[in-house]
Amino acid sequence: MVLEIKNPSANGEAVLHRKSNGVSSVASDGHVNFGSNGTVVEHDSGGDTLNGEDSITVGAVDAPDVITKKERQREMTFQDMYNNQGLFDEDDEEDSDWEPVQKRVEIVKWFCTNCTMVNLNDVIHCDICGEHRESGILRHGFFSSPFSQAADLTEDICLQHPASISSTAVGFDERMLLHSEVEMKSHLHPERPDRLQAIAASLATAGIFPGRCFPISAREITHEELQMVHSLEHIQTVELTSHIFSSYFTPDTYANEHSACAARLAAGLCADLASAIYSGCAKNGFALVRPPGHHAGVKQAMGFCLHNNAAVAALAAQAAGAKKVLILDWDVHHGNGTQEIFERNKSVLYISLHRHEGGKFYPGTGAADEIGTNGAEGYCVNIPWSRAGVSDNDYIFAFQHVVLPIAAEFAPDFTIISAGFDAARGDPLGRCDVTPTGYAQMTDMLSTLSGGKLLVILEGGYNLRSISSSATAVVKVNFFTSM
């Protein structure tokens, strides 16, 4: 695993190193890379060599002759410049392609506060999600509108369960909001703290949480529990980020000094929710957690994911007594990490519905012929979509004809949903068309399995309005079915 560290330079010097023997370069903005064995490669800002490599220090002061020339130019009047044309002849070649009539055209862009995607300046509403460019969604907090699409389903369930006290548990901790990308960019990273805040505000507006669902106290997962899922090297590498201001596992997977703690909290909440549900302390639950987890494999963090929360929850349920666990992953991206962890395990059935497009859609895994290995063939079921724009009808059809028949035959004792909401309508990465009603219907179908012992774990989803409305629709189903 390669972990790229970013430490601000103390003196502004740019130090360049040639790559050698697996050690990455130190770039001009102070990037420092870790070797593949996870050991720290320290760098002195004064320009010392790194592991015997040649280094070149680029100073911030101009050479004396350059300074003299600049000073002389500043002191000259326009008439002096014409009288001393020879002083500037050496620059003529550099300006030979300059045309006085040429105008610089600057394209002004703005980034959507709801889905983070770029738009041209003359567009008032986001091309992807329709959000107004002056939206106050982040300035004033997000409170979702009534869920008219999901109302029929949840009202029917409400009539069947008239009680007002729910045994639905929700796991959330504000410390997970501290996990964020440190590097300042004009384009926000799609996996951002606002995702949790939007869902939490939506649940509060609906009167579900806090209030009618009960909270699970947050606990950081232990190293011993993590080692049931991840390698020791992976765990140590993630922990190392606690001492570093900013770092990257992959170009899209960031960490700051709070990220390791946030990942431990997320995994700990998922483990405790699974134990509480299986033991009967809660009927079902929703893990409002980040960073997400289903791309995190045995040895690597990737795809915004650090620890695999669903895998940790599955093993926690088994530790509590469950013999067979179903993980249903409806995130628009294939959960390559979850599949890798359980592809040799017949006690965990992993089913994923995702965009694949012949391996061209991230992460490229999840073809229909990936079914498990080493005697566990058939315990990985992949339903790959060949295009964008997949809708409720596509998912419901797949549930009715593939997911539920296989799940019923497996007969799980415990069910986990890796609930990414990036197949939702308006998501900038998924580009599909699933509605809150669709997510509610799929949740209702899965609640018939495992005696209703169901844990929903947040994965992806990057349109604040769609993830909050979709997540709330799902929790409403859990809430009413547990009454």
How far from 325 is each of 302, 310, 382, CA to CA, in Å? 24, 11, 17
For the stretch 221-224, contacts whose Cβ atoms lie closer than 8 Å and that sit 24 or more positions apart, written own/partner, are 221/264, 221/265, 221/267, 221/268, 221/271, 221/307, 221/312
DSSP 231-293: -HHHHHHHHHGGG-SEEEEETTEEEETTHHHHHHHHHHHHHHHHHHHHHTS-SEEEE--SS--
295 counts as catalytic: yes
Spot the catalytic one: 295, 307, 334, 354: 295
* Residue closest to 199 by CA, chosen among 402, 416, 408, 474: 474
Helix axes 259-279, 232-240, angle to 10 degrees: 130
Residue 464 to residue 474: CA distance in whole angstroms: 15
* Residue closest to 46 by CA, chosen among 26, 19, 64: 26
Residue 398 to residue 332: CA distance in whole angstroms: 14
Would strands 284-287 and 454-458 be described as parallel, antiparallel, or unpaired? parallel
**Any idea what the Cα angle at residue 192 is, between residues 189 and 194, rounded to 5°?**
130
Give the active site residues: 295
